[in-house]
Amino acid sequence: MKPRILYLYSDTGGGHRSAATAVMQAVEHLRKNTFSQEMVDVFASCSGFLNIFAKLYSPVIKYSPQMWGQLYYWLDDEKKLERLEKVAGPFILKELVGLIKKKSPNIIVSVHPMVNHLTVKAIKQSGKKLPFIIVITDPVTLHRAWITPGADQAIVATPEAKQLAVKYGMPENKIKVIGMPIDPKFSLKDKEKQAARKKDNLKPKAFTILMMGGGEGAGKMLEIIEEFDRAELNIQLIVIAGRNKSLETQLKHSASKFRFPVRVYGFTDQVHEIMAESDLIITKAGPGTIAEAMAMNLPIIITSWLPGQEEGNVEYVVRENVGRVSKDPKRVVEIVKEMIGTPEFEELKKNIRRASRPQAAMEIAREIFRYL
């Protein structure tokens, strides 16, 4: 029987699912047909209680990101996390022990912050000796909930994340700095833009801007598009609305009224193909999207972020000089105008090539192999 790898994730946004899928794809790419791999949405399957939080993610980040920030900061506290674990722990623990017994994995890999302490306890209670790795998907500033000294290893994306993890109590010898896992399809993708556009019936030579807002399609996309329309720029736009159905419908209805072509997608598994056609991305500061855009060498304009959780990502984009930041739709359009065809734009791309770690998922896969 093939050794089994069990991934714990949650379908909040798109980032955790993408990270788990990325590592799974890398494992398969490096060792074809060697392992049996499975992802389990821990909130949906183990905890009615935490599933309420998970279900709130989509409406809250769309309509009141500040509220998510308040919750984030309120819970970023050792004592409160302990209390939360006391309240919710017993139910989830029982489910987790059951999950481990049922799936009988040879290793567990978590890409989510909320149930890692309990997973360590559940492994003990199940009576099995199982390695447990945590892949921290907040690349710069990370929440205390990730920190689990009892895990065998924590993989982080940057040296800053490592410093914070140590400060919060993760033993230094258990931390590896590797990078954000992104699906190998991003790093393996051919980046010849004009041919890709032609094949997809887009204008081959137009400056092509991709707009997205994570899995939930968050951010002021419509306002920004209207601002582009006033600016009379020679561009074409591709919008990925993700799971934001109302944005998708609204944009599909109004796409033809704009002066430039606007192509609209709902939730798509073709993000890598779409990035390959694009010159620039305008996005929420989601860690998955930023890492993927960098692997595809796209300069980034950040227009929204989750308070607390994604602030470090905004600082990262500025510090590494791989993009620009503005919440003001007018300013966003000015930034684009100032950038197109300039040496500054080429400079951003050079910085992206330097900072990007497109092979991180492969390296994480190799770490997993060390335990099997």
Which residues would be at the binding site for ligand UDP (CB under 6 A)? 13-15, 18, 212, 214-216, 240, 242, 267-269, 271, 286-289, 292
Indicate the residue among 25 and 289 with the shorter CB distance to ligand UDP. Answer: 289
Which residue, 13 or 89, is less far from ligand UDP as judged by CB? 13
* Positive or negative torsion for Cα 228, 229, 231, 233: positive
Minimum CB separation of residue 197 from ligand UDP in Å reads 19
- Residue 29 beta carbon to ligand UDP: minimum distance, rounded to whole angstroms: 17
Residue nearer to ligand UDP on the CB measure, 85 or 292: 292
Longest dimension (CA), the chain: 66
Task: Report, in Å, the least distance between residue 23 CB and ligand UDP.
Answer: 13
We find the least distance from the C-beta atom of residue 184 to ligand UDP, in angstroms, to be 13
Q: Looking at beta carbons only, is 123 or 247 nearer to ligand UDP?
A: 247
Identify which of 300, 291, 296, 278 has the alpha carbon closest to the alpha carbon of residue 357: 291
Instruction: State the nearest-atom distance from the C-beta of 313 to ligand UDP, in Å.
Output: 9
CB 279, min distance to ligand UDP, A: 18
Residue 8's contacts (CB-CB under 8 Å, 6 or more residues apart) are: 40, 42, 108, 109, 110, 111, 112, 115, 119
Which has the closest alpha carbon to 300: 279, 274, 327? 279
Q: Would you tell me the crossing angle of helices 78-103 and 65-75 to the nearest 10 degrees? A: 90
Residue 34 or 66: which CB sits closer to ligand UDP? Answer: 66
SS3 of residue 218 by DSSP: coil
Question: Do residues 252 and 239 make contact, with C-beta atoms less than 8 angstroms apart?
Answer: no
- For residues 239 and 209, give the distance between their C-alpha atoms in angstroms, rounded to a whole number: 8
Q: Quote the least distance from Cβ 182 to ligand UDP, whole Å.
A: 7
Tell me the β-bridge partners of 7: 39, 109
| Enclosing H/E stretch for 292 | helix 287-295
Nearer to ligand UDP, 100 or 325 (CB): 325
For ligand UDP, give the closer residue by CB, 69 or 242.
242
Q: Between 68 and 207, name the residue whose CB sits nearer to ligand UDP.
A: 68
Q: Report whether 229 contacts 259 (CB < 8 A).
A: yes
CB atoms within 10 A of CB 220: 16
Beta carbon of residue 299, minimum distance to ligand UDP (angstroms, whole number): 16
Q: Which residue's CB atom is positioned nearest to ligand UDP?
A: 286
Strand order in the sheet with 235-240: 262-265, 235-240, 207-212, 280-284, 300-304, 323-325
State in Å, rounded, how far the first CA of the chain is from the last one: 13
In the complex with ligand UDP, the residue whose CB is nearer, 237 or 271, is 271
Pairing verdict, β 132-135 and 107-110: parallel
Q: How far is the CB of 183 from ligand UDP (least distance, A)?
A: 8
What one-character-per-residue DSSP string does 160-214 give? HHHHHHHHTT--GGGEEE------HHHHHS---HHHHHHHTTS-SSSEEEEEE-T
Distance CA 340, CA 322 (A): 15
Provide, rounded to whole angstroms, the least separation between the CB of residue 344 and ligand UDP: 25
Nearer CB in complex with ligand UDP: 208/309: 309
